Amino acid sequence: MRLIAPILLLVLALAASVSLDRPLPPADFIVIERSDCYTLDPQRMSYQHELRRARVIYETLVNLRAADCAVVPGVAERWEVSPDGRVWTFHLRPDAKWSNGDPVTSNDFAYAWRRAILPDTAADYSQMFFSIQGAAEFFRTRTRLLAEYAARAKESEVPPTASDAELLWQQTTRAFEETVGIATPDAKTFIVTLEKPLAYFLDLCAFPCFAPVHRATVDQYTSIESATGRVLQRHDWTKPGRIVTNGAYMPTVWRYKRDMRLERNPHYWNRDAVVANTIECRTIENPNTGVLSFQSGGADWLTDLGPEYKTEMLAQRRAYLERFANDVDAGLARGADLDDIVGALPAPGADERRDVRGFSAFGTDFFSFNCRTKLASSGANPFHDARVRRAFALAVDKQQLIDRVTRLNERVATTLVPPGSIEGYPLVEGLGFDPARARDELKAAGYEDRDGDGVIENASGERFPTVDILYSTASPRYQNLALAMRDMWKRELRVAAECRGKDAKLYKEDLKKGNFMIARGGWYGDYGDPTTWLDLQATGNGNNDRGYSNPRLDAMLTEAAAETDPAKRLELLAACERWLFNEEMPMMPLCTYVTVYMYDPSRISGMTGHPRLEQDLSVLGRRESPQ
């Protein structure tokens, strides 16, 4: 009998394992991602693929319509703003419910936003909430209270108790209620008071970290640590079977680094607009395997075409479109969607394809100049001089980089904000390719070939220092760009440069420490306003790795922030960007990023080509009659 018991347990364990690993029924729509979600906590989600999933698992006060990124009602069916632009009152729809049938209330939003602001949560986007009155002050207060608690615990011979930690938490909640401009007068009214008017506040409210969470569920996995006084948040509540969501879908299966299954939320207020009943998100880390899986019919959409041969695949698409150029042009002239046009064309021939498409994305590839007075090595920094920065920017032929290095047919960028990505924002042009002017700029900065030896030097006869170009080894793209620009600067400016590649972690450390002269960079916009780009140059900004600081820029940003007329405000920001990239050049934009998808427009619909690429999983689906 003693032998039977363990054998029986083993059999039961194997049976459970087999049942858990049983293949799932085919989903209505299948997506392949390169990475799995790190978390399903909306206050802590930050990667692009996580945010895409968050937008259909949760719903914020307002939504971004994928087709044009216009702000439309979400949980809030309507809202109004005070004449001074500071007080926003949101009225929640009565039929907004959680996936367990509970009503979505204003307190759910207040609870979630407090979680996001608390330093305990370690949320990547806490600062997004600092436009709310008192939010930054509350963050600092909580940080100070925790530090004081830790200091008392260290000095005391008696360890702090649960009661001590609870008193600290009561003090914190009182500070939130008294300081932060969030009010919930009733279950369906949510009022937010801002420090000052913010033109893009509604766009922020559509960002997933502003989503509500189901308090009764989250609280079950939240405790206060006696030793530190910190709120400990276990994330078991995000697992299928426990998680409660308020979006179009709810996760029912999550096998980490394998797949996640989303099923239509039966309590979602707008469920009739949801296309697919079930969505399967598969994780395939190897880019070649992802392509093979898609091509074998294993998925409807591959969200990130990674292999280097994607350039050849895009060329095959161009060949296909060129064969039907008249049909495509006629369809576009009628105002038809490009995918609808391409999906109705005859099947591709040999060496052609229509299941690959490159989109100009809401991101810009650039290289940063170190603008500090001194280098990390304590030597004088020639790039502190804007004339030197302009010279190096003018000496780079960006079109050649796109044609010969990246080969993705990106759009050349001379400024940061991707053209056409923000409605009403004027087109701004920066410095182009002009090697003759580049040499004049260096000469004006005191560097020229004074003795005819082919090397430039200053008035003291000192050669221009060898330029240190830092890049991340995460992709061959960065090394290839660095090498190509090194050769351009040698040819056009007669300066020597060395390329220094480091793995992602060490690269970021050097970047933050200012241990570089020129460094690879890139940025995707977080929200639909020019400030998501221009604030990168503001004095003290956490992402200002260049160490750039100019009171004139800070004043221009402050002036724009105070402007209440939307059109005038955008004009002020455009003038700021024009000045930055014609005069100051703290960084050198290269091109607008291209995101390459694999999907067949004859088989699926709902994809948007808007530059922000806010693909809405709830409107994607298979066409009823594939072409």
- Is residue 303 located within the same domain as residue 373? no
- What band does 2 get if pLDDT is binned at 50, 70 and 90? very low
Residues 104-141 pLDDT 10s: 999 999 999 999 999 998 888 898 999 999 999 999 99
Check residue 11 and give its pLDDT.
Answer: 42
Domain that holds residue 346: 284-355+599-622
Q: Are 613 and 595 in contact (CB under 8 A)?
A: yes
Q: Is the pLDDT of residue 8 over 60?
A: no
* pLDDT-above-70 percentage for the chain: 96
For the chain, the C-alpha Rg in angstroms (whole number) is 27
Is the entire prediction scored with pTM above 0.95?
no
* pLDDT-above-90 percentage for the chain: 88
Q: What average pLDDT does the segment 54-62 reach?
A: 98
- DSSP single-letter state for residue 410: P
Q: Is the pLDDT of residue 12 over 50?
A: no
Q: What is the mean pLDDT of the chain?
A: 93
Rounded CA-CA distance 284/264 in Å is 24
The burial class, CB within 10 Å (0-12 / 13-18 / 19+), for 498 is exposed
Check residue 74 and give its pLDDT.
Answer: 98
The answer to whether residue 188 is domain-embedded is yes
The answer to whether residue 299 is domain-embedded is yes
The answer to whether residue 457 is domain-embedded is no
Check residue 451 and give its pLDDT.
Answer: 83
Type of residue numbered 316 = Q
Residues 483-506 pLDDT 10s: 999 999 999 999 999 999 999 889
Higher local confidence (pLDDT), 8 or 60: 60
The answer to whether residue 14 is domain-embedded is no
- DSSP single-letter state for residue 547: -
The answer to whether residue 279 is domain-embedded is no
Q: Which among 499, 496, 490 is positioned nearest to 469, based on CA atoms?
A: 499
Check residue 590 and give its pLDDT.
Answer: 98
Rounded CA-CA distance 304/492 in Å is 36
- Is residue 482 located within the same domain as residue 565? yes
- Is residue 171 located within the same domain as residue 313? no
Q: Is the pLDDT of residue 3 over 50?
A: no
Check residue 344 and give its pLDDT.
Answer: 96
- Is residue 314 located within the same domain as residue 443? no
- Is residue 392 located within the same domain as residue 434? yes
Domain count, the chain: 3
Rounded CA-CA distance 264/619 in Å is 12
- Is residue 543 located within the same domain as residue 607? no
Check residue 446 and give its pLDDT.
Answer: 95
- What band does 64 get if pLDDT is binned at 50, 70 and 90? very high
Q: Which among 264, 229, 255 is positioned nearest to 119, based on CA atoms?
A: 229
Q: Is the pLDDT of residue 437 over 50?
A: yes
Token code pair at residue 589: 């934009």
- Is residue 111 located within the same domain as residue 247? yes
- What band does 21 get if pLDDT is binned at 50, 70 and 90? low
Q: Are 69 and 362 in contact (CB under 8 A)?
A: no
Check residue 5 and give its pLDDT.
Answer: 45
Rounded CA-CA distance 610/338 in Å is 12
Q: What average pLDDT does the segment 42-56 reach?
A: 93
- Is residue 107 located within the same domain as residue 52? yes
- Residue 342's Cα: distance from chain center in Å? 29
- Is residue 603 located within the same domain as residue 549? no
Q: Are 594 and 402 in contact (CB under 8 A)?
A: no
Rounded CA-CA distance 238/234 in Å is 9
Check residue 22 and give its pLDDT.
Answer: 65
Rounded CA-CA distance 329/338 in Å is 10
Q: What average pLDDT does the segment 592-611 reach?
A: 95
Q: What average pLDDT does the segment 230-247 reach?
A: 95
Identify the CATH number of the domain in which residue 52 sits.
3.90.76.10
Higher local confidence (pLDDT), 22 or 33: 33
Higher local confidence (pLDDT), 182 or 4: 182
- Is residue 428 located within the same domain as residue 525? yes
Rounded CA-CA distance 427/566 in Å is 16
Q: Is the pLDDT of residue 23 over 80?
A: no
Check residue 24 and give its pLDDT.
Answer: 76
Q: What average pLDDT does the segment 219-229 reach?
A: 95
Q: Are 182 and 132 in contact (CB under 8 A)?
A: yes
- Is residue 365 located within the same domain as residue 351? no
- Is residue 313 located within the same domain as residue 440? no
- What band does 625 get if pLDDT is binned at 50, 70 and 90? low
